[in-house]
Amino acid sequence: MTHYAAGRLVDNCPHGNGWTQTRTQGEVRCDACGVRRFTAYGALRPPGLPQTITPAHRDPRAADRAAALNIALATRG
């Protein structure tokens, strides 16, 4: 079976042949089709950036207030 993925023609591979670790840390490649899978977020971050990010402290009610505002604005017709 053939599918289009991201503008390319690709076969539907179940990735059953296994995965091989590449030279890039946190990246593996399917032995059958060559698709890459990132097993760690650090593989996606450019070199030189911190590997962990501590989110800023946020008001726990801010999401509730934002959702309520969005609903109120959406229902105003």
Task: Classify residue 8: in a domain, yes or no.
Answer: yes
Per the structure block, which two tokens stand in for 2? 């053939």
Task: Classify residue 52: in a domain, yes or no.
Answer: no
Count of the separate structural domains present in the chain: 1
Residue 15's domain comprises 1-45
Task: Classify residue 75: in a domain, yes or no.
Answer: no
pTM of the model: 0.39
What's residue 7's pLDDT? 54
Strands 27-30 and 36-38: antiparallel
Task: Classify residue 17: in a domain, yes or no.
Answer: yes
Q: Residues in the chain with pLDDT < 70?
A: 1-11, 41-45, 50-53, 55, 77
Task: Classify residue 69: in a domain, yes or no.
Answer: no
CA separation for the pair 64, 43 (Å, rounded): 33
